[in-house]
Amino acid sequence: MSSKATGSITVTMEGTNKSTTLPLLGGTLGPQVADIRKLYNELGIFTFDPGYGATASCESTITYIDGDEGVLLYRGYPIEQLAEKSHFLEVAHLLLYGDLPNAARYDEFHKGVTYHTMLHEQLRRFFEGFRRDAHPMAVMCGVVGALAAFYHDNLDINDARQREIAAYRLIAKVPTIAAWAYKYSIGQPFMYPRNDLGYAENFLYMLNAVPAEPWVSNPILSRAMDRILILHADHEQNASTSTVRLAGSTGANPFACVAAGIAALWGPAHGGANEAVLKMLAEIGTPENIPAFISEVKDKNSHTKLMGFGHRVYKNFDPRAKIMKETCHEVLGELGIKNEPLLDMAIEMERIALTDDYFIQRKLYPNVDFYSGIILKAMGIPTHMFTVLFAVARTVGWVSQWKELIEDPSQRIGRPRQIYTGHGARDFVPLDKRG
């Protein structure tokens, strides 16, 4: 489905007789977009949009967000319905191909992904090249990028079947790489994937099982992990997704493109936000200290930051946060965790946010990171692994976006412009004559 012309606007350069008419394009949902591609040729000017917050870099049919209404759609399906009624591999098929699979197609897709869960045995040696205390995201960048060395010469990104196999490999292998990065950091043996387990269940097995004793699956925890993966699977053109697309526009190997996405995700302003929430709550200490902390947040002269509230896109309640809150209570109940200080503080923080005019006027509602960190901590996953789990979930979104980019006949190599503010042309002065 392509965008359609919905009208036009005229741009006139003040003080000149130059003007041009720009088409207005409309998608299925969302605001109209001015097509500025001929602006430079006809008027000799570029547009300036730091952070690309008001610029559409591509057409996409995958994910839609309405931040004002708190809506997140995967291929038209509300995230709430998918999190409640579906499971991750079904959602992965939806993101990759555009539709939910029937039973026969799902079985085929499930087998296609499951067949590729194991890593080439030689990749074990890559982990030994890292320090034991290396951040797991550094390991993820290195090992996922290294996959390009194993699947490069025979990979033609212009061949649909080879793109599909590359997608299967990434979705299947990234959880194994993530689990092995964790095992390596704590000195435990790598656990090979079990193809008799579900996607989320197998991931938990590789994270937590040891050869010395049997591992027992917990359906509540497996379902919680599955929801976390679904809720983080894609999120429109965010920083890491845009990075994958930009790298992909050069024709780069898809494993290298995803490694670039992992590097972008690593930043605390992006994938590291749920880790920052836990650090904030730990620093507050107890619910009794929350009022003083909130006062510091409100103080313009204070540098205290409120983590887990508000979102650059959502100007309403993050729809994913509602699901995470329910899942949080399910997990804590299943594990028998009562009077959890972090949860008590989270609930009190949420109560204040929903009743305090300071938060209401600024639309600072709890986002998905606010509860996901508490869930992961309760499941025994250390904070330095939180962003790694985010990468496991987002891989299917990255691959779907990369696939859409490659299949778009109008796609071009990414090449942002700039406002140059450096020196003008200068004459070179030899070293012996410089003052």
Q: How far apart are CA 187 and CA 195, in angstroms?
A: 24
* Catalytic residue (one of 133, 369, 408, 423): 369
Provide the total of helices (H) and of strands (E) in the chain, helices listed first.
Answer: 18, 6
A 10 A CB-CB count for 304 gives: 13
Q: How far apart are CA 103 and CA 106, in angstroms?
A: 5
Identify the sign of the CA torsion 169, 170, 172, 173.
positive
As beta bridge partners, residue 21 has 10
Q: Where are the alpha helices (DSSP H) in 151-287?
A: 160-186, 199-208, 219-231, 239-248, 254-265, 273-284
**Measuring CA to CA, which residue among 237, 235, 234 is closest to residue 53?**
237
A 10 A CB-CB count for 254 gives: 26
133 catalytic per annotation: no
* Catalytic residue (one of 110, 116, 311, 318): 311
CB 117 within 8 A of CB 173: yes
Instruction: Show Cβ contacts of residue 326 under 8 Å, excluding neighbours closer than 6 positions.
Output: none
**Rounded to 5°, angle at Cα 257 from 253 and 263:** 145
A 10 A CB-CB count for 156 gives: 11
**Measuring CA to CA, which residue among 82, 85, 103 is closest to residue 94?**
82
CA atoms within 13 A on the CB side of 296: 12
311 catalytic per annotation: yes
CA atoms within 13 A on the CB side of 1: 11
As beta bridge partners, residue 71 has 66
Task: Say which amino acid occupies 262.
Answer: I
Q: How far apart are CA 391 and CA 271, in angstroms?
A: 8
21: exposed, middle or buried (Cβ count in 10 Å: 0-12, 13-18, 19+): exposed
Q: How far apart are CA 96 and CA 74, in angstroms?
A: 10
Q: Which residues participate in catalysis according to the annotation?
A: 311, 369
